[in-house]
Copies of this chain bind each other. A is one copy, B any other.
């Protein structure tokens, strides 16, 4: 808690200084302000702290980002739209049925002719692929035939060790033996769900939640109960407890850090309370931390697993948002369910490919990952900030947008009269993909919400797409007045 206070102080201090410069006229409306890097050097703060300061200024409507150019003092200051409200989904456990919609969103993601604001995917140039592939080639030469064999669960020991070492950053002290390597985070989540629950069981999820989680539940014939979730600090614990009192919940499947699509991050104290509530009832928590490393602030948030005393938290993540989506390497620390997860892993895919495991282990070991992470985080933060600004500029009155402190997506509440499925269809006709709200809910709520992917590099094509989207939203809003 201390550290995060200090950090807030620093970036607020930097922001205050720049605010003064603007108010005093040293920096005038329309003028370019010093680059993040320069401010970072000048004020002796990290780049991400400087960036935080700029976000704050932008949030306050004092500065704005311009494509491929930098930050400028606003001609007329305008605030970002308000944040979306919390929504209370139906309390019943629901059979999920969003398959067709999601399949179409994913298909659009494969089509290079479509502007990819739908699927939560990243521009490939955010990753240090050339470096990674040099490691790959050298490992392949060095290891020779030894890597061309089955590698069953739990996976390559050095990779598990390297992941465990990193767990100190998240408030854990895992050992390599706690880790099972998987084919990405999605694989990990599937295995963990299957390890703790079966067909017909009820799983608590946040509302809204990532549509692939809902589809996994659908495919496993599990039911979802949706817990209201705050845009800033995540799942509502009172509502969760009430739901646990009402019915038998077999497990929770939450994204405490930089939730998809909300961007919310549960504060540490609340994470601890969440874990305690579940521990009392012996309910497993499957924790999807895939965006945990994509933090925009100064410190990485802890994981809920950090407060796990009973082996009930199954932590899942991967390198797909930060390093290598094309290599399908993820992992889980499944606590007391390790044996079941390993067994399921072996009979699902006969273990993992070995070469990419060694490649990533070496990359982690060399320190390359931390270096690279700083750049990637900055890239994501800038992209998200530019897209937020564009939404503020081009979308009509009544639009609301989240303020994530990490992750790669924005959750946008449109004027109440806009049906996001209509918007989704019309946008697709114009070769723009967005993810409509109903995909994020088993009960198909969030009719007037969309999720916008910010994993893509800002460029004219993105800005033009947001202009078109804004126009479509305006049209739809005026057709049926609220």
Interface residues of A (CB under 8 A from B): 99, 103, 106, 109-110, 119, 121, 124-125, 127, 129-130, 132-133, 136-137, 140-141, 144-152, 183-187, 190, 194, 198-199, 212, 215-216, 219, 221, 320, 324-328, 339, 342-344, 346-356
How many whole Å from A119's CB to the nearest CB in chain B?
A: 8
Residues of chain B within 8 A of A198, CB atoms compared: 199, 221
Q: How far is the CB of A190 from chain B (nearest CB, A)?
A: 6
CB distance from A179 to the nearest CB of B (A): 16
Q: Which residues of B contact A351 (CB under 8 A)?
A: 328
On chain B, the residues within 8 Å of A99 by CB distance are 343
Q: Which B residue's beta carbon lies closest to that of A350? A: B186
**Inter-chain contact A121/B148, CB cutoff 8 Å:** no
Q: Are A219 and B349 in contact, CB atoms less than 8 angstroms apart?
A: no
A183 touches B186 (CB 8 A): no
Residues of B within 8 A of A328 (CB): 183, 349-353
Inter-chain contact A148/B327, CB cutoff 8 Å: yes
**A145/B127 in contact, CB under 8 A:** yes
List 16 extra interface pairs beyond A106-B346, A127-B145, A185-B350, CB under 8 A: A99-B343, A103-B339, A119-B150, A127-B148, A130-B144, A133-B141, A133-B144, A136-B137, A151-B326, A183-B328, A186-B347, A212-B350, A320-B350, A327-B353, A328-B353, A353-B356
- Residues of B contacting A194 in the complex (Cβ-Cβ under 8 angstroms): 219
Q: Which residues of B contact A349 (CB under 8 A)?
A: 183-184, 186-187, 190, 328, 349
A201 to B: closest C-beta gap in Å: 11
A214: nearest chain-B partner, CB-CB: B347
Whether the Cβ atoms of A343 and B103 lie closer than 8 Å is yes
In whole angstroms, how far apart are the Cα atoms of A199 and B198 in the complex? 9
How far, in whole Å, are A318 and B137 apart by their CA atoms in the complex? Answer: 24
